Each structure stands twice: as C-alpha cells, then as structure tokens.
Structure 1
Amino acid sequence: MSKFIYHEVEVLHMRFIMTFFWSILIGCAVSYVLASMAGDSFQLIHGLIAGLSIGVIVLILGEGVLKENPEA
C-alpha cells in the first residue's frame, strides 16, 4: 500500500471517529440541558442515542449528499 493511499484511509477513519466523538458529546450536553429544564434526571442513554443519530445523519450528508461537484 502506498504512503499516499494509507494517509487517505487514515484521514477518512479520523473523520469518522471525530464526527462520532463530537456528536455524542454534543448530544449528551443537549440531553442534559433539556432534562434539567424539564426537572427530570439525566439519562446517559438518551444522550448517546441522540448523538449517534446525529452522527449518522452528519456522515450521510457529508460523505454522500453534500459532496462538491468537481466538474462544475
């Protein structure tokens, strides 16, 4: 495997990891704030589900739907 291809694969994996990291972190923060405003207790699973859902949507949009067209 050439050095360039290895670098591209490494960057692709890091994009996926960081997308899920930040989406889970932000999802948990939003879940905490909303639970606090409602007077409920914080449930980590709700934040994880919201974060993973947002992460999947962001990856689908970023990798497929919103790709720039190099021909334009």
Structure 2
Amino acid sequence: MVGRGECKCFATRGQWFQEKELKEEGEKQRRMSKNRAPSQRSKNRRQIAKKRAKKLENTLRGSISASRS
C-alpha cells in the first residue's frame, strides 16, 4: 500500500502530502511560465518577420515602379 517516499506514520504523512502538493504546484507554475515565455517570444519574432517582409515588399515594389517610369 505504501509507495516509495511515503511514510507509514500519519503525523509525518500529512506533512509529506503538504510538501508534495507544494512541490507539484511549484512545478506546475514553472511549467506554465516556461510554456508562456517562448510563445510570447515566437509571437514577437513572427511580428518582426511580418514587418520585415512588408518593408522588403514595399521597397521592391518602389524600386520596380521607379525603374518602370
């Protein structure tokens, strides 16, 4: 019944459960922040790439129309 890391005595078992919950909560928050950070970064990267592409497109379009006239 008692798995690894668990204590058979009830007094420390309550403490063990509290510590386990705290650890799981911390890991969950760390995982969430870890997941959130790169998505924000990639979103910024995508926006920058879009702007860069638009600028390039506009400069090419301008140079094409300038060379035509």
- TM-score band by shorter chain is 0.5 to 0.7
**Structure 1, unaligned runs of 5 or more:** 41-72
1:30 is matched with which residue? 48
Q: How many residues align?
A: 40
The sequence identity of aligned pairs, in percent, is: 5
**Structure 2, unaligned runs of 5 or more:** 1-16, 59-69
Cα separation, 1, equivalents of 2:41 and 2:28: 20
Aligned structure 1 segments of 4 or more residues deviating by more than 2 angstroms = none
Structure 1 or 2, whichever has the larger Rg, is 2
CA RMSD in angstroms comes to 1.7
Higher helix share: 2
TM, length-normalised to structure 2: 0.53
Task: Specify the code of the residue in structure 2 equivalent to 1:23.
Answer: R
